[in-house]
Amino acid sequence: MTPPESPHSTGTDLLVLHALRCVGFAGLARVAAATGLPEPDAESELIDLARAGLVTHLAGTFGGWGLTEAGRAADAERIAEELEASGARAAVAAAYHDFLVLNPELLDLCTAWQLRPAGPAYDARVLDRLTDFDQRAGVVGAALSAALPRFRRYRVRLTGALARARSGALEYVTDSVESYHAVWFQLHEDLLATLGIPRE
Amino acid sequence: MRWVRPLSAEVGETAAVLGGKAHGLVVLRRLGLPVPPGFVITTEACRAFLRDGRLPDGLDAELAAAIADLEAATNRTLGGAERPLAVSVRSGGGVSMPGMMATVLNLGLTAEATAGLAAETGDGRFARDSRERFQTSFAAAVGDEPVPEDAARQLERAVAAVFSSWDTPRARTYRTLQDIAPDLGTAVTVQAMVFGNRDHHSGTGVAFSRNPSTGEPVPFGEVLFGRQGDDVVSGGLLTRPLHELAGREPTVWAHLLDALDRVESHYRDGCHLEFTFEAGELWLLQVRPGRFAGAAAVRVAVDLADEGVISRHGALRRISPQQLGDARTPRIVAADVLARGIGACPGIAVGRVATTADNAARMAADGPVILVRPQTSPLDMHGLAAAAGVLTARGGPASHAAVVARSLRKPAVVGAADLTVLEGSFQAGGHTVPEGTLITIDGTGGEVVLGTSRIATGATNPHLERLLGWADEVSGGNPDRSETERLTAARAVLL
């Protein structure tokens, strides 16, 4: 059901800031993928956020863009404000509850995938189960997106990863940085961050 | 009775009907070993429940009769104000589905029965602790509904919840992935509770008849004093090495050693027992044969052949080419284990401790690092990428940390429950280990060792060499082939 008024839309600066909160250190391409912004727009936001002292760029093999302490605090504050202003807390909390029912099943699937015997027959079986799982995950995704539109991006990324895996790019189940598991893991982090729940 | 069987030595049905857990308990009974009295509701009742959406006709009367028998056997009353009977309600299919099915402990502890238990034991804290555990496990199994104050009603709800847990989407997915037939159903085992949290002479544990890491023929396991069964599995509490039982509870220890001997002779294999002792008396709650992996599986098979328990051909049939490969994975040979978790990605990693992802990324420039975290989040990914291996305090073999470690092919130990990660250090086994300290982790057996450990590469594994020698005798083949080919050729003759 569509709410009568247009739902809350997250500003691009907060989208970029919050992407780093959920993804961790990442290069420009991954920030763009996580936010759905064109790379030049994402880069411009990153530069502005860096000027404000909220993000930093580390050189080196394991570097990339990441949040500063101030950036992490600013993100927590603005994401909490957004949740209250949009009136979406109850809906996001309910979706998080449903997410937690699905999460062990996805981890079982990923584990079976990683420990699987070689062969296309078993691959197809796991991918069929993942497709079935994704349909149920889509119900939670739709509820989240209706509550806060910035969550739509996860559906795009998850269905994208599944489609790539099904078309033969098997690293999109667990191994790639945009794999189904990697995106799901970030969604888990986002739900915790959005609801202000510490990881236990 | 149509749907219910007693847990007695006379029951002759298979694990397909009784479930693996109850079938094992019947075997223990036949071996004259101590099993808490109880009964099992068959998988057939589960199939009827799943077909009709309700408990089958006649089950309620059979449950009432079985409970009456149990009350008579224990001289207790379910939900009674005096000498209350509490029961455990556990799932158990013909095949194991770890962590997927519902379990309810201490069922029958109504408010009245809890007061009765407190009066009987003179220990109000113990009684309250037991009732809380019931309420928590009931809510987890049954969901958001009030706990009935009627004990018989509690039992019906718990049985239905266990049956329902067979058919959750997660369980369906797991069965598809593990090649388990979708329509087997689960049995439900109901037993009089034994209380590992009863007093200072009570506790719970798990015991292997042989060391599960090495196969060495020495009993091995963990014990948790003053606690109830599932605490060992769920972790987060200080478990002690099994042999500490010998000094603290010598009678329990002697009976446990005897039980391990008897189950090994029966199954002709290394075995795993779950046990509880209450006020100095041992009770066995589960037996599983086998479950040894890699080099341990090879050693157990070769030792059993040497002991005359199985034949050399039998030993060859037991070891799959996959296990042979696993036996070659390097392993820690640990004298002094600092902490133990669950091996989530095989292999050994040696490196300096880093307790944050940022530190791991920074320190990795100067040499290998082990990232040590309470658990992992996506914010740890750059640290994981930089690290040689990862160690976490929480999580299981199917946790985000385990999935990520395997995707990066980094040795990983997860769920090291006794480990506390602080800022700049971690604590384990009475040691404080500062950041920068060299440690070794073994992603097969889950061991964590201070410094660099001696490592067995499998290259000089005498048990493996002997097994392959037997393989050549069977196949008439020569030893100048790969190990897998030597084993496979022998198995082709034998299987």
The per-residue pLDDT for A172 is: 97
Residue A6 has pLDDT above 60, yes or no: no
- What residues are paired with B224 via a beta bridge? B204
Strand, helix or coil for residue B435:
coil
Give B336's contacts (C-beta < 8 A, 6+ positions apart).
B449, B450
Please list every residue in chain B whose beta carbon sits closer than 8 Å to the beta carbon of residue A69: none
Give the alpha-carbon dihedral of B403, B407, B411, B415, to 10 degrees. -10
Cross-strand pairs, B344: none
Q: Are residues B383 and B466 in the same domain?
A: no
B95 falls within a domain: yes
Facing residue for A185 by CB, picked from B382, B397, B400: B400
Question: Counting beta carbons within 10 angstroms of the beta carbon of residue A1, is it exposed (0 to 12), middle (13 to 18) or buried (19 or more)?
Answer: exposed
CATH of domain A12-80: 1.10.10.10
C-beta separation of B34 from B285 below 8 A? no
Give the residue extent of every domain in chain A: 12-80, 87-195
Query: By C-alpha distance, which of A22, A75, A29, A65 is closest to A184?
Result: A22
CATH number of the domain where residue B173 is located = 3.30.1490.20
pTM across the whole model: 0.84
Give the closest of B364, B377, B402 to A111, CB-based.
B402
Host domain of residue B162: 4-192
CB B409 within 8 A of CB B344: no
pLDDT at position B458? 64
**Band of residue B488 on the pLDDT scale cut at 50, 70, 90:** very high
**Mutant choice from B101, B164, B170, B371 vs A, greatest count of A C-beta within 10 A:** B170
Of A181, A157, A156, A184, nearest to A170 (Cα)?
Answer: A181
Query: Where residue A5 falls among pLDDT bands split at 50, 70, 90?
Result: very low
Structure tokens at B37: 């009295």
| Average pLDDT of the residues of chain A | 93
pLDDT at B241: 84
Last residue of a domain, which of B144, B161, B192?
B192
B197 assigned to some structural domain:
no
As for how many domains chain B has, the answer is: 4
Q: How far apart are CA A31 and CA B379, in angstroms?
A: 14
- Whether B39 is covered by a domain: the verdict is yes
Judging by DSSP bridges, how do beta strands B186-192 and B38-41 pair with one another? Answer: antiparallel
> b/e string for B186-218 if b means 16 or more Cβ within 10 A?
bbbbbbbbbbbbbeebbbbbbbbbbbbbbbebe
| Rg for chain A, CA atoms, rounded | 17
Q: Band of the pLDDT at B229, cuts 50, 70, 90?
A: low
Residue B139 and residue B186 in one domain: yes
- Domain membership of residue B20 (yes or no) is yes
Residue B198 lies in a domain: no
CB B327 within 8 A of CB B458: yes
* A→B interface, C-beta within 8 Å: 21-25, 58, 60-64, 66, 101, 104-105, 107-112, 114-115, 125-126, 129, 132-133, 136, 174-175, 179, 181-182, 185-186, 188-189, 199-200
- C-alpha atoms less than 13 angstroms from C-alpha of B91 in its C-beta half-sphere: 25
- B305: Cα separation from own chain's centroid: 26
Question: pLDDT per residue over B236-255, tens digit each?
Answer: 456 788 999 999 999 999 99
Do residue B181 and residue B43 come from a single domain? yes
- Asked whether residue A110 carries a pLDDT value surpassing 60, the answer given is yes
* Range from A110-119, B343-352, B452-461 carrying the lowest mean pLDDT: B452-461
Shared domain for B64 and B168, answered yes or no, is: yes
DSSP B130: H
B439 plus B468 within the same structural domain: no
Report chain B residues whose CB lies below 8 A from the CB of A101: 170
User: Are residues B442 and B489 located together in one domain of the fold?
Assistant: no
pLDDT tens digits, one per residue of B122-167: 999 999 999 999 999 999 999 888 999 999 999 999 999 999 999 9
| B214 within a domain of the structure (yes/no) | yes
Q: Distance between CA B453 and CA B334 in Å, rounded? A: 7
B7-56 pLDDT per residue, tens: 999 999 999 999 999 999 999 999 999 999 999 999 999 999 999 999 99
Q: What is the pLDDT of residue B291?
A: 79
- Same domain? B324 vs B337: no
Asked whether residue B336 is domain-assigned, the answer is yes
- Region B444-467: mean pLDDT is 85
Q: Is residue B312 domain-shared with residue B169, that is, in the same domain?
A: no
Residue B257 sits in a domain whose CATH number is 3.30.470.20
pLDDT of residue B477: 80
Residues sharing a CB contact under 8 Å with residue A69, sequence separation 6 or more, in sequence order: none
Q: Do B173 and B65 sit in the same domain of this protein?
A: yes
Are residue B168 and residue B154 in the same domain, yes or no? Answer: yes
Same domain, B140 and B262: no
- Give pLDDT tens digits for B376-435: 999 999 999 999 999 999 888 888 999 999 999 999 999 998 899 999 999 998 899 999
Q: Which residues contact B428 (CB under 8 A, 6 or more apart)?
A: B338, B339, B416, B418, B419, B420, B448
Give the pLDDT of residue B43. 95
B156 falls within a domain: yes
- What pLDDT score does A116 carry? 83
* B88 and B161 in a common domain: yes
